[in-house]
Structure 1
Amino acid sequence: MDIEIECPYCGELVTIFVDPSGGESQTYVEDCPACCRPWTIHAVEEEPGGFAVGVARQDE
């Protein structure tokens, strides 16, 4: 599932992929494709196949 988010460092809108087979609650680290800084992504399934996604800076 592709989700558009805003990088918490550079503000660039980027698309990330959340794998529905990864479970109802997922936390992982991914680098921004624009500025290459790492984020912590937390995705929670709200409905089958629908995720709420939060992204935080690694330095927070």
Structure 2
Amino acid sequence: MLTPHTIDCPYCGEPIGILIDASIPHQQYIEDCQVCCRPITLTIEVDDDGMIGVRASAENDA
């Protein structure tokens, strides 16, 4: 099940939409910003209640 989520790009600050697979409890991957095209490291945690936590960081901050 894909869940839409909005994050702010750590480089340009623009809000961008991402889709999260909530069936995977621990994820980390890189997705390029849709505005400035720089790589964002996404760290995603889904708890037992289905609450999604997302951390978006710049390439050198991860």
Question: What code does the residue aligned with 1:37 have?
Answer: R
Deviations 1:1-60 (A, max 9, x none): 011110000000111111123x11100000000000001100100222x31100110022
In 2, distance between residues paired with 1:56 and 1:43?
A: 11
In percent, how many aligned pairs have the same letter?
A: 36
Taking the TM superposition and a 5 Å limit, the aligned residue runs for 1:25-44 are 25-44=26-45
Which structure carries more helix by proportion? 1
SS of the residue aligned with 1:18?
Answer: strand
In 2, distance between residues paired with 1:59 and 1:6?
A: 17
Question: What code does the residue aligned with 2:20 have?
Answer: V
Give the aligned length.
Answer: 58
Q: CA RMSD in A?
A: 1.0
